[in-house]
Chain A
Amino acid sequence: MSLLDVGGPVMIGPSSSHTLGALRIGRFGNYFLGKTPDKAEFFLHQSFGQTYMGHGTDRALLGGVMGFGDADRAVKNAFALALSRGLDFSFQQEDLGEVHPNTVKMLLYDGAMPQEIWASSVGAGMIRIIKINGVDCDLSGAYPTLILVNKDTPRALGMILEKIDANVANLYLRRINKLLAKALTIVELDSDLTLRSLLEIKSLSVIQEAYYVKSLSAPIQGKGGEGR
């Protein structure tokens, strides 16, 4: 902990775990897509599922998916704002298995195929992204993050790292499917990648899918909600 963790943050109430954490999870989804989806389906586990209305967890997730910041007053009006922006949404309770009580599965649509993100709000507004499109991971969202599906072949990692022009904070590797020779590479960075670096990575022959998610603590761009 630091003095700043104790003296802050500025947030939309009522709960850091059920509201702020939910807002950040939604915002991770927005950054992952790079935009507000057309449709968002939320499946809420245990404590999230049982208490979401009384904590505004639903509005927070939805506001996050629209890219709202931690202290954006517009979160309170997220339902109306989503409708006016053409974002279709639904919430339901679901048993997601052996995961943290405050976990949500999000299906975010930009076109026909959804992106599926699982995330937990683990206290004090901190979150963990635990699954992306069926692949387990463990991300805090606090760093600019590069998420790659790449060919599981020799020197693939070297080719990727060669193109990264920011300092690497954390690096995760996982084989997705040996038969298909697919692997997941997640790189958490200390600072943003340059556009050039990102484009070079995306054009590598070993890369099958590439997502770049900016840090959740990055300044909010655009107007977000209307209530700031």
Chain B
Amino acid sequence: MTFNGIKQMASETKLPLHEAALVAELSETGNNPEETRAQLGEFLRVILEESEKQYGKVQETLTGLTGTNAKKVYDRGVLYHSPFTHVAIVASLSICESNASMGRVVACPTAGASGVIPGVFYALAKENEIPFDHLLPGYILASAIGNVIATKATLAGAAGGCQAEIGSAAAMAAGALAYLSGGDAEMVDSAAALVLKSLLGLVCDPVGGFVEVPCVKRNAIAVTAAISAAELALSGVSSVIPFDETVDAMRRIGRTLPMELRETGLGGLATTPTAKKAVDRILTRFQKS
């Protein structure tokens, strides 16, 4: 599946972009469009439920390195961002801190990057009061954008670094936001490409190998990047490099990343003095319990 392929099918059949993605899915996997739509709807429902439930809450995470950040940002309220982006940031932190405390999440596209999509969709539901049925086409399209990346490259940090997880999540969120805001196919392409280009090369270097530092806060920063990219694209700013080619570049970059920077905990932030001290502290605490 390529994004160009979906765009072409949409223009030939006069179908909306997300419907074209469902048809492309049918022709590639044989999956029934109505069943796919219903199942994706279930995933979106869980995302909105969990965002509502965990919003701004303190969580007791497995390592204790995170867990209070969503509440801090929620309590402080809007500073520089719009209320929309503020809600997106809080929802994103809330989901990721819930994930780190063995809460229920939707691994869209992965568990480690599971906060970006909820950020955008919960803000649309809560702040802009977009009803569920109008959000679902955006979730279908986000999944299709992710599937383009999975087909051409990878969604796994262990294979392609964090660009493949958070980068992909941000591209999916930006594309969906542009689409749900009335953007045409070229705007969706640009929104996804613009944010992915900004996150290319991002490495996967979590402290101790655990899904907490820097993953939780990276989700929150990425959701603002996704919103920025959608805003640029909707204003008519186009990406010079189209989305499909950006994904090809991501694949090539991922292949040249050394093993130390692909979810092994052996490079980058994971090897800083503070990270090493934190891991020692965590392991001591585990041994006591």
Binding site for B on A (CB under 8 A): 1-17, 19-20, 47, 50-51, 53-56, 59, 71, 73, 75-76, 123-125
Contacts and interface: CB of A to CB of B under 8 A. Distances in A.
B3 to A, nearest CB: 13
Contacts of B83: none
B242 to A, nearest CB: 20
A76 B104 CA distance: 10
A56 B150 contact: no
Given A1-B150, A6-B155, A14 B104 contact: no
Contact of A8 (B39, B150, B265): B39
Contact of B150 (A5, A15, A71): A5
A7 B208 contact: no
B103 to A, nearest CB: 6
Interface of B: 21-22, 25, 29, 31, 36, 39-40, 42-43, 46, 62-63, 98-112, 114, 139-140, 142-144, 146-147, 150-151, 155-156, 158, 208-212, 265, 282, 286
Contacts of A51: 208-210, 265
A16 B286 CA distance: 21
Given A2-B25, A14-B210, A53-B62, A8 B106 contact: yes
Query: 7 closest A-B pairs (Cβ-Cβ)?
Result: A13-B99, A7-B143, A6-B146, A14-B211, A54-B210, A1-B150, A76-B102
Contact of A10 (B43, B211, B212, B286): B43
B106 A56 contact: no
Contacts of A15: 111-112, 211
A46 B156 CA distance: 20
Contact of B100 (A7, A11, A14): A14
B143 A13 contact: no
Given A3-B31, A14-B210, A9 B102 contact: no
B210 A13 contact: no
Contacts of A56: 62, 102
B108 A8 contact: yes
Contacts of A1: 147, 150-151
B9 to A, nearest CB: 14
B107 A8 contact: yes
Contact of A2 (B29, B42, B98, B107): B29
Contacts, number: 134
A19 B112 contact: no
B79 to A, nearest CB: 29
Contacts of B21: 3
Give the most central of B102, B139, B144: most A CB within 10 Å. B102
B39 A20 contact: no
Contact of B39 (A4, A16, A73, A125): A4
B111 A14 contact: yes
B114 A13 contact: yes
Nearest to A227: B104
A114 to B, nearest CB: 26
A73 B107 CA distance: 15
Given A3-B147, A76-B102, A54 B208 contact: yes
Given A1-B147, A14-B62, A7 B104 contact: no
Contacts of B102: 12-14, 19, 56, 59, 75-76
Contacts of B142: 7
A90 to B, nearest CB: 15
A66 to B, nearest CB: 15
Contacts of B22: 3
Contacts of B147: 1-3, 5-6
Contacts of A53: 62, 286
Contacts of A59: 102
30 contacts: A2-B147, A3-B25, A3-B36, A3-B143, A3-B144, A6-B144, A7-B108, A7-B142, A10-B46, A10-B107, A11-B105, A12-B103, A13-B105, A14-B62, A14-B112, A15-B111, A16-B107, A16-B110, A19-B102, A20-B107, A20-B111, A47-B209, A53-B62, A55-B210, A59-B102, A71-B104, A75-B102, A76-B103, A124-B110, A124-B155
